[in-house]
Amino acid sequence: MSDKGQVDTIKDIHWLMDILQNIDVGLVVLDRNYEVQLWNAFMEGHSGVSPQLAKGKNLFSLFPDLDETWFKQKAEPVFQLKTRTFTIWEQRPYLFHFRNSRPITGRSKFMYQNTSIIPLESVTRQADHLCVIIYDVTDTAVGKIDISRANQTLSEIQVRDTLTGLTNKSAWLNVLENYYASQQQGCLLLLDMDHFRDLNHALSHQQCDEILRRIGTGLKTLGDEQHAARFGGEIFSVILAGKGADEAMQIAEKLRRSVLSLGKNSQYTISASIGVAERLDDTPSASEWLSNADKALYHAKESGRNRTSLFKR
């Protein structure tokens, strides 16, 4: 090779090393024993480990929190089959636990990472080294997480009553249809506040809203499996999953007393009427089942209010 050729080769190697050290991705070369052979400036900057310290060290001794079993399961096929593999932040947030490089403006304490693991062949065509490439995808990840959370919030708004936090009517009716189709035993409960319009005139809207909120809180204690909802206005509905008529009436009576206790320190009576309908073998539809609960509620109202009533044919 001519002197000029040697100079050009040295220049090429110098440029290549300069690129490897300054490229904005992490580069780690490991040998078959998982000992570090190359550690670029990105890795040094984010880990605090210098190339001199990393050189020749076992990767798992440098990073004890790195899951050795998992990493080797990813890396061994790269060595043996000479095929590349990768990880994405959705499956595993990071390979190396690095702090977010923008902790003040960023919304994540750590760096989200995508990684590629590629085989490096020797002159004998054996893959006796591999290169781990670390991509900082924190901005992308945080953006997607924010969008996902926003969509989840929108979904919650679509199915939740904003005042009580219970399921709203339309979402609850879908749950009712699905529950009816499952052919499980259960009872429906409809709770309607007595003379609530009069209370609205006597009390402030804020006080009446607080009454509804407290009823909603009480219904939440029944558990998610009981599917409570604000059916509309001052009416609440509950699917008492797996409950027979006797147990459902006990729950209804407990709820009635709980509502009545809301007015114990007030000059106004706060009460509710409750209708209960058991799902019978010959109940033809979910709407008919709901209609039976409504008939029981009507009976409780007609019987003087502040009562519980079970639907009977």
- Residues contacting 111, CB < 8 A, separation 6+: 46, 94, 98, 99, 100, 101, 136, 138
CA quadruple 88, 89, 91, 95: dihedral sign: positive
pLDDT tens for the chain, 313 residues long, are 455 544 444 444 555 666 666 688 999 999 999 999 999 999 999 999 999 999 999 999 999 999 999 999 999 999 999 999 999 999 999 999 998 876 544 578 899 999 999 999 887 788 899 999 999 999 888 888 877 776 676 566 678 898 999 999 999 999 999 999 888 899 999 999 999 999 988 888 899 999 999 999 999 999 878 899 999 999 999 999 999 999 999 999 999 999 999 988 888 899 999 999 999 888 999 999 999 999 999 999 999 999 999 999 8
Q: What is the pTM of this model?
A: 0.57
In the three-class reduction of DSSP (H, G, I as helix; E, B as strand; rest coil), residue 34 is classed as coil
| CB of 230 closer than 8 Å to CB of 196 | no
Distance CA(28)–CA(62), nearest Å, equals 12
Q: Tokens at residue 80, please?
A: 């043996």
Burial classification of residue 282, based on how many CB atoms lie within 10 Å of its CB (0-12 exposed, 13-18 middle, 19 or more buried)? exposed
3-state secondary structure of 66: coil
- How far, in Å, CA of 169 to CA of 8, rounded? 76
Q: Read off the tokens for 295.
A: 């008939």
Q: Which of 301, 278, 300 is nearest to 289 (CA)?
A: 278
> Locate tokens 């073998």: which residue?
281
Closest Cα partner for 113 from 132, 138, 130?
A: 138
- Report the half-sphere exposure of 219 (CA within 13 A, side-chain side): 28
The residue written with tokens 């995808």 in the block is: 137
Radius of gyration of the chain (CA): 33
For each of the domains in the chain, give its residue range(s) and CATH number, in order of start: 3-145 (3.30.450.20), 160-310 (3.30.70.270)
Return phi, psi of residue 277, to 5°: -135, 125
